[in-house]
Structure 1
Amino acid sequence: MNCLLWIFYGLPINHPDSTLVITINAIGLALELIYLSSFLLYGNNSHRKKIFGFLAAELVGLGVIAGLDLGLFHTHDARSTFIGIFCIVFGIGMYTSPLTIMWKVIKTKSVEYMPFYLSLAAFLNGCCWTTYALLKWDWFILIANGIGALSGFVQLVLYAIFWRTTPRKSKTPATEVQMA
């Protein structure tokens, strides 16, 4: 939903001169569709039904937002503001979704459930988009991705603090039995 909203935000009818926003989020949407396709291909029927339900809800939600945007607002500024608010909400939701994992890291003093590269990617992505937002002076991109960069930074700090206290997995394969 996040990429779909940002693509809609960047369209010339909403926010002119946002080619990079459209292009990069279209690539993100394509990657998401590839991931979902592989999940649907190899998942069981109950998971497929659940995913199709989520996809249908997202498309209906986007349709309602697009209809309201195009029907109620008639200037670029008004449309940008309306759709931008939704982009901020969903962007913050995407970036802050690891909050429960971050709390688990603090409680267990282990980064076992928080992948380093995912945290690094969130931080770098937030920083890149924040830089872009500052160059274009786009508040909607700045707010969502500034919070994203901050969230990624906090994850990296937690990783730096707790990576030494994380129990290491044995290098002995589970199929081999060691004799004393």
Structure 2
Amino acid sequence: MAIIKILHTLFGIFGMSSHFYFSLYFSWIYIMVSFFMTCSYLFLGIGNITGLFLFLAPMITFKRVIMHKSTEQFSGIPYVMTLLNCLLSTWYGLPFVSPNNMLVSIINGTGAGLEAFYVLVFLIFAPKKEKAKISGILCVVLSIFSTVALVSMLALHGNKRKVFSGFAAAIFSIIMYGSPLSIMRLVIKTKSVEYMPFFLSLFVFLCGTSWFVYGLLGKDPFIAVPNGVGSFLGTAQLILYAIYRENKGQIKKGEEDGRVEMELEKPYEKEIPNTQSGDAKV
């Protein structure tokens, strides 16, 4: 208020009326608000586009699964966990939970549909043991989502509903973004980016950064914090890719041949007959 009085006095000295001063002041506020809203919608749009590409990235993997009619050594857990994240984020973005976040619901609702498709394909072609495992995890995932939705609707209202739903969505968003940590560890160990696709890392970075900025502009910690983590991990993946990109397709050997253990996919052991020394394992 003191600053306004000083400016008012100065404008009076230079012969400017109060009406002109306040018009100038509110015009400046309008411009700033419009600027931040434009930036917010811009990053929201970028976040939706990159998020869609992030959800579409596994299509290549599942095209291979359908063609081979086998899930091979792929794990279904990341897709089930991403499904939970999408469901919770869709719920959080609904108007009666978190106003002005409808586009969050739209992109995550699309993601939930895609992840549900991936999980269904995985269950169709997975071995019995893996199918039972993923089915059990899927039941837990649906139970968690149902619990969050029912508790937030029946027991909580207003800001408490938003905080509860946002906290649940943020936790599983961080878990989703943290899933590539094992891949990053493998890249460092083998000094090869063979198992870390560049475009997947790029979209993790772009998606995380866009939603992080949108969360900051909208002062929404439940969007900003988990996506800030995603932006950081995406940056780390791109740095690793830049360091080891020349070694793509070349797995570093250990001190002895065959010492490198592939942590993403471990082939089943098969016994083959050896006419000279009996049974051997490969």
Deviation at 1:160, TM superposition (A): 0.3
- Tell me the distance in 2 between the aligned counterparts of 1:40 and 1:81: 34
Superposition pairs of residues 75-154 of structure 1, within 5 angstroms: 75=158, 77-154=159-236
Per-residue CA deviation, residues 151-173 of structure 1 (Å, 9 max, x unaligned), is: 1010000110111234449xxxx
What SS does structure 1 have at the residue aligned with 2:192?
coil
| Identity percentage of aligned residues | 43
Aligned to 1:2: 85
Per-residue CA deviation, residues 111-149 of structure 1 (Å, 9 max, x unaligned), is: 122222221121111122123223322111011111101
- Structure 1 residue 158 and structure 2 residue 225: aligned? no
Q: CA RMSD in A?
A: 1.8
Per-residue CA deviation, residues 50-90 of structure 1 (Å, 9 max, x unaligned), is: 22211111111112222322233221x11111111111111
Aligned to 2:268: none
Superposition pairs of residues 23-42 of structure 1, within 5 angstroms: 23-42=106-125
TM-score scaled by length of structure 1 = 0.85
2:187–2:240 Cα contact (<8 Å) kept: yes
Equivalent pairs, count? 168
2:192–2:250 Cα contact (<8 Å) kept: no
TM-score scaled by length of structure 2 = 0.56
Judged with a 3 Å threshold, the aligned counterparts in structure 2 of structure 1 residues 167 and 41 are, in CA distance, closer, same or farther, namely closer
- Mark the runs of 5 or more structure 1 residues left unpaired by the alignment: 170-180
What SS does structure 2 have at the residue aligned with 1:13?
coil
What SS does structure 1 have at the residue aligned with 2:246?
coil
- Tell me the distance in 1 between the aligned counterparts of 2:250 and 2:184: 19
